[in-house]
């Protein structure tokens, strides 16, 4: 399941630069679309074939200086609870500060793997100054430079080895895994209660690594799946000030461990930036998604309300808007079972495999009808298409000049794939690779 690394530390030690360096490793895979609010503190990275998520806690500290330290401590508490590995960034130029010592004290109590990352070691003279940070009492220490990248390779080698082993989920691997996600108060708990009900005899808790979230085996009305519930579990008072950061951490954990996400949006508030952030996390992780507009029983209804509301939502979700949108009420159980039906359909869509001969017959015809526009005098010829053997729909297009394929043409190909095959609710990844001349 998903691995999460959290970057912690006081302000101005270079957390954002380090974060940007890590997420840059996957620049070819995710392209940002214009006009959609992005969560700049979350990213995906990959090292030695191990994919992981990175959370930069720095972006969530709000408030005046006097509560600054307190806020950072709370961030660290939440990061310890939710992440698999902690990257504690310090600054070689300022040495150890009181806040560094306080944070180290909190981190040392954690049972998680912790790495002290001594940043701004931009030359060999500064290497010796980095050793002073061993005084913080954490033995794994790496000198790096976020600016020029030196030392990050050794650090990442150690980080990917420290992630927990992923074998505990094999037993449940055959069951679809649905996660209920959404911002606070959108109705996640109400939906879970509506689904699971009081008939506790039909639900069996499953032990798993998703700490502090409840995995429930749901088996009734012909449905059989694992429900990942992250709602309303945390009792500690420190959440209130950090609700945004906390809910993003929680959503990341649930999304990474799921096949399909049920994204709940509050009908009374409409789609807000945090909903789009969570939607974006789902896409980045190539998970299936069903959008649920909850509390529809309370919303004002006119003849065109649903059509208008749905059109507005799809516009905000663009460019990926081929998703099921259902109007529900968790309290009155309106369309609850329609939700499960949609989730199962998206799950099947995500699993489908298209035979290579069929894919080539259909897609090469579409490419012939509308070839990629020439770039810099070069004519692009796409010769072969195949679906890669990955957990989510991923297609490789082999051509003579992959670097000249532009976004509008990528969108054309994606639209054609969606026209011919049912990928509703599922993000599609596409790669363009150079056709090996020797094999032509």
Residue range 326-350: average pLDDT? 92
**Residue located via tokens 């099921």:** 324
| Average of per-residue pLDDT values in the chain | 81
CA atoms of 260 and 166, how far apart (whole Å): 19
Instruction: Note the pLDDT tens digit of each residue in 347-367.
Output: 999 999 999 999 999 999 999
Residues forming beta bridges with residue 396, ordered by sequence position: 386, 431
Look at residue 141 and tell me whether its pLDDT is greater than 60.
Answer: yes
- The two three-digit tokens of residue 43, written as one number: 């990213």
For the stretch 286-326, pLDDT in tens is: 999 999 999 888 876 665 678 888 999 999 998 898 999 99
Q: How far apart are CA 69 and CA 349, in angstroms?
A: 47
Q: Give one word for 101, left, alpha or beta, with left for phi > 0 and alpha for psi -120 to 50.
A: alpha
d(CA 160, CA 105): 24
Mean pLDDT of 100-123: 91
Q: Work out the average pLDDT over 157-172.
A: 70
- Please write the tens of the pLDDT for every residue from 367-391: 999 999 998 888 999 999 999 988 8
Residue 39 in this model has a pLDDT that exceeds 80: no
Write out the chain in H/E/C secondary structure.
CCCEEEEECCCCCCHHHHHHHHHHHHCCCCCCCCCCCCCCCEEEEEECCEEEEEEEHHHHCCCCHHHHHHHHHHHHHHHHHHCCEEEEEEECCCCCCHHHHHHHHHHHCCCCCEEEEEECCCCHHHHHHHHHHHHHCCCCEEECCCCCCCCHHHHHHHHHHHCCCCHHHHHHCCCCEEEEEECCCCCHHHHHHHHHCCCHHHEEECCCCCCCCEEEEEEECCEEEEEEECCCCCCCHHHHHHHHHHHHHHHHHHHHCCCEEEEEEECCCCCCHHHHHHHHHHHHCCCEEEEEEECCCCCCCCCCHHHHHHHHHHHHHCCCCCCCEEECECCCCECHHHHHHHHHHHHHHHHCCCCHHHHHHHHHHHHHHCCCCCECCECCCEEEEEECCCCCCEEEEEECCHHHCCHHHHHHHHHHHHHHCCCCCCCCEEEEEECCHHHC
The residue among 209, 143, 166, 179 whose CA lies nearest residue 49 is 166
pLDDT at 290: 97
Looking at the predicted structure, is the pLDDT value of residue 155 above 50? yes
Cis peptide before 38 (omega within 30 of 0): no
Phi/psi of residue 94, each to 5°? -100, -15
75 or 363, higher pLDDT: 363
Q: What pLDDT is attached to residue 217?
A: 76
What's the token pair of residue 276?
């789009």
Residues 6+ apart with CB under 8 A from 17: 119, 146, 147
Q: Could you tell me the pLDDT band of residue 99, with boundaries at 50, 70 and 90? A: confident
Is beta strand 260-266 parallel, antiparallel or unpaired with respect to 382-387?
A: unpaired
Highest mean pLDDT among 33-47, 210-224, 295-309, 417-431: 417-431
Asked whether 238 and 76 are in contact (CB, 8 A), the reply is no
Provide the percentage of residues in the chain whose pLDDT is more than 70: 80
- Closest residue by Cα to residue 371 from 397, 335, 353, 338: 397
């Amino acid at each position: 399941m998903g691995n999460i690394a959290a970057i912690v530390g006081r302000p101005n030690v270079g957390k954002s630069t380090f974060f940007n360096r890590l997420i840059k490793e996957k620049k070819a895979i995710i392209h940002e679309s214009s006009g959609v609010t992005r969560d700049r503190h979350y990213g995906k990275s990959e090292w030695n074939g191990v994919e992981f998520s990175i959370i930069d806690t720095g972006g969530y500290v709000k408030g005046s200086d006097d509560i600054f330290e307190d806020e950072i401590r709370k961030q660290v508490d939440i990061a310890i609870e939710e992440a698999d590995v902690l990257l504690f960034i310090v600054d070689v130029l300022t040495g150890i500060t009181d806040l560094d010592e306080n944070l180290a004290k909190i981190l040392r109590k954690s049972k998680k793997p912790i790495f002290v990352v001594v940043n701004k070691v931009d030359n060999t003279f500064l290497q010796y100054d980095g050793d002073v940070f061993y005084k913080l009492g954490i033995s794994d220490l790496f000198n790096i430079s976020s600016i020029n990248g030196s030392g990050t390779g050794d650090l990442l080698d150690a980080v990917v080895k420290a992630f927990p082993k992923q074998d505990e989920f094999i037993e449940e691997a055959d069951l679809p895994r649905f996660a209920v996600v959404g911002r606070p108060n959108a109705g996640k708990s109400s939906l879970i209660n509506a689904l699971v009900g009081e008939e506790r005899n039909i639900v069996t808790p499953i032990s798993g690594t998703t700490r502090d979230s409840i995995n429930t085996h749901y088996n009734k009305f012909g449905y059989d799946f694992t429900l990942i519930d992250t709602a309303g579990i945390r009792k500690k008072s420190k959440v209130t000030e950090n609700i945004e950061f906390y809910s993003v951490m929680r959503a990341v954990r649930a999304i990474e461990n799921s096949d399909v996400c049920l994204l709940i949006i509050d009908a009374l508030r409409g789609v807000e930036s945090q909903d789009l952030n969570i939607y974006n996390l789902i896409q980045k992780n190539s998970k299936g998604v069903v959008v649920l507009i909850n509390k529809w029983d309370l919303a004002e209804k006119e003849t065109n309300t649903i059509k208008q509301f749905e059109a507005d939502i799809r516009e905000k979700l663009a460019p990926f808007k081929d998703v099921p949108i259902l109007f529900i009420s968790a309290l009155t159980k309106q369309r609850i079972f329609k939700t499960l039906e949609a989730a199962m359909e998206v799950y099947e869509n995500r699993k489908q495999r298209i035979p290579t001969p069929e894919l080539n017959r259909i897609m090469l015809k579409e490419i012939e009808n509308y070839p990629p526009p020439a770039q810099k005098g070069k004519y692009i010829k796409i010769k072969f298409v195949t679906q890669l053997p990955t957990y989510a729909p991923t297609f490789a297009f082999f051509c003579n000049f992959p670097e000249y394929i532009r976004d509008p043409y990528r969108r054309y190909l994606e639209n054609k794939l969606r026209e011919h095959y049912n990928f509703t609710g599922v993000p599609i990844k596409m790669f363009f690779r150079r056709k090996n001349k020797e094999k032509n």
